[in-house]
Amino acid sequence: MNYAIDVHGINKRFGDKHVVRDLALQVKQGEIFGFLGPNGSGKTTSIRMLCGLLTPDSGSGTCLGFDVLNESDDIKKQVGYMTQRFSLWEDLTIGENLDFVARMFGMQDRKQAVAKALDELGLKARKDQLAGTLSGGWKQRLSLASCLLHRPRLLLLDEPTAGVDPKARRDFWEDIHRLSEAGITILVSTHYMDEAERCHRLAYLAYGNLLASGTSKDIIASQQLSTWSINGGNAHRFAAALQQLPMVEQVTTFGLKLHVSGKQPELLEPALQKFASSHNLQLERSSPTLEDTFIHLMREAHDQYEN
């Protein structure tokens, strides 16, 4: 199997803060790989190390077949990196930004490529507008267009849809899938569960540790959670009380419903039934969602690393 990204044992510290610990990632060519984890878990740091913007303290591996430690110049030429924060030049126009990026990547057909990108973005008429005056969502779309310009083989997208409206988000994911079908590998970080579910495989990071990876099904199964959903008038008012029951690992709110999860269903079920009937609630066995699983992973990580 040919891996677009194949790294292991990657560590990074900032001062005495261990931000990424022994990260191992294998991303197949043409795959859409989701990168998830709470704020500050090291997603951005990991992505930066993959494209040579940060030097790992230790570890080894390859990115597009080039060594991540020594060959970042070659990696950069074939990677499209979209930063989490808008990082194009606000005092250049949309057209000038794209033109600059095209020049930086030494594109031969620069003019056509820029014109095509503007066309696809639907920004042809506004190409002389300063990038700094675009709305947040449009800035994201411009950033994506600019990192696709040089036709990279690998896309590293750091929260590309933060602040983007639902329609644009949908369009964006359709584009991502089209690119993936064309053989481009995509590593994308996100906080949205629906986006996570659209990825071929996922990795979940917390406190710099890779806690789980695989397809979303694998990840859900790996945690062996049993989940019940509780309905009924004002169910959410009972969240604190449910949390106190023995064997309850976590209670999460989904709209007007509650999800109660635990690892010992044979003990948990009777307790829940008793609680539901005494409070006039409907109890229903359901399957844990990706979100239940991630919240569970995060709590376990918190207990393990924070204390």
Site residues for other proteins, window 1-60 (CB under 8 A)?
A: 48, 51-55
Residue 58: strand pairing partners:
11
The reply on whether position 140 binds ligand ATP by CB under 6 A is no
| Residue 162 interacting with other proteins (CB under 8 A) | no
* Binding of other proteins by 268 (CB under 8 A): no
Under the binding rule (CB under 8 A), the answer on residue 61 touching other proteins is: no
Cβ pair 73, 105 in contact under 8 A: no
Whose Cβ is closer to ligand ATP: residue 23's or residue 230's?
Answer: 23
Question: Is residue 119 a contact residue for other proteins (CB under 8 A)?
Answer: no
C-alpha–C-alpha distance, residues 65 and 270, integer Å: 54
Mark the segment that binds other proteins (CB under 8 A) among 71-79, 174-182, 216-224, 264-272.
71-79
Whole-angstrom distance, CA of residue 31 vs CA of residue 214? 12
Indicate which of other proteins, Mg ion, ligand ATP, none lies near residue 299 (CB less than 5 to 8 Å, by partner kind). Answer: none
Closer residue to other proteins (CB): 71 or 175: 71
43 vs 76, beta carbon nearer Mg ion: 43
Pick from 87, 226, 252: nearest CA to 160: 87
265 contributes a contact to ligand ATP by CB under 6 A:
no
Residue 36 or 82 having the CB closest to other proteins: 82
Dist. CA 258–CA 243, nearest whole Å: 11
Residues 82-111 binding other proteins (CB under 8 A) are 83, 85-92, 96, 99-101, 103-106
| Smallest distance from ligand ATP to CB 138, Å | 21
In one letter, which amino acid is 196? A
Side chain identity, residue 5: I
* 235: number of Cβ within 10 Å: 20
Contact map string, positions 60 to 89, toward Mg ion, x by CB under 5 A:
------------------------x-----
The footprint of Mg ion on residues 10-69 (CB under 5 A) is 43-44
Nearer to other proteins, 76 or 169 (CB): 76
- CB atoms near residue 120 (< 10 Å): 13
Q: Residue 134: enclosing H or E segment and its boundaries?
A: none
Measured distance between the N- and C-terminal CA atoms of the chain, rounded to whole angstroms: 40
Size of the site for other proteins (CB under 8 A): 31
41 touches which of ligand ATP, other proteins, Mg ion, none (CB within 5 to 8 A by kind)? ligand ATP
Q: Give the angle subtended at the CA of 253 by the CAs of 306 and 237, to the nearest 5°.
A: 105
| Interacting residues toward ligand ATP by CB under 6 A | 14, 19, 37, 39-45, 84
| Interacting residues toward Mg ion by CB under 5 A | 43-44, 84
| Interacting residues toward other proteins by CB under 8 A | 48, 51-55, 70-73, 76-77, 79, 81, 83, 85-92, 96, 99-101, 103-106
